[in-house]
Chains A and B, each alone.
Chain A
Amino acid sequence: SAVISQKPSRDICQRGTSLTIQCQVDSQVTMMFWYRQQPGQSLTLIATANQGSEATYESGFVIDKFPISRPNLTFSTLTVSNMSPEDSSIYLCSVGEGLMNTEAFFGQGTRLTVV
């Protein structure tokens, strides 16, 4: 299975600032996904990141707020911009793997607290 390293593991940020979360995979993968998990809630897809193309955002998420980079097949970043307390969540990156992309593995998650 893919090994996914996500950094930072946690951070406390001031409102109005931005935080960039990194996701590094130990193998080349086509699809990378970013999810948000609000306190006590399930995971919601923010966007899908393919290498060499613009990320595809889900309804309710916009590029200006959550810009994503995917410079190569093993790395992606998610930035949470102009943060407010409502952005306090766990952010997780995920990759698909295996034949027909049937496996899905996750990074350790980033616990973000905005004060």
Chain B
Amino acid sequence: AQTVTQSQPEMSVQEAETVTLSCTYDTSESDYYLFWYKQPPSRQMILVIRQEAYKQQNATENRFSVNFQKAAKSFSLKISDSQLGDAAMYFCAYRSDYGGSQGNLIFGKGTKLSVKP
């Protein structure tokens, strides 16, 4: 069974600085998708960024980028020029691309990010 591990329960960053959130996962599959979701206090799950395992190029979305290391099974999220609105819980998630998979996401425990003004 696949597992996702986020080893940082909490992180803090100064406004305008850069922070990296860690995520590792365990799988025997070669094809899968990885996601980072943001959950602010409103509890809405917001998709931040997605990475296909077959792509070597790291995904980027504006201030958000990932460092995907497939061999190491690592998928970290870098937030540049941090803003107060980035403060939230961040969840790393895995989705199998195996044909027999239901397509659900497997989540890590989350990292609570605080942004200091």
Contacts and interface: CB of A to CB of B under 8 A. Distances in A.
Given A102-B50, A103-B50, A45 B45 contact: no
Interface string B42-72: 1111010010100000000000000000000
The number of chain A residues touching the other chain, given as a range, is 20 to 34
Nearest to A90: B43
Contacts, number: 58
Most buried by B among A42, A92, A103, A111: A42
Contacts of A48: 102-104
B95 A104 contact: yes
A55 to B, nearest CB: 11
Contacts of B95: 102, 104
A99 B102 CA distance: 15
Contact of A42 (B44, B50, B91, B104): B91
A101 B95 CA distance: 10
A33 to B, nearest CB: 5
B109 A42 contact: yes
A104 B47 CA distance: 8
Interface of A: 1, 31, 33, 37, 41-45, 48, 56, 90, 92, 94, 96, 100-106, 108-109, 111
9 contacts: A31-B102, A33-B102, A42-B107, A42-B109, A42-B110, A56-B102, A94-B45, A101-B103, A108-B43
Given A41-B109, A100-B97, A104-B95, 11 more contacts: A33-B104, A45-B104, A45-B105, A48-B102, A48-B103, A90-B43, A94-B104, A102-B33, A104-B93, A104-B105, A105-B47
Closest 5 A/B residue pairs (Cβ): A106-B45, A109-B43, A42-B107, A48-B102, A43-B107
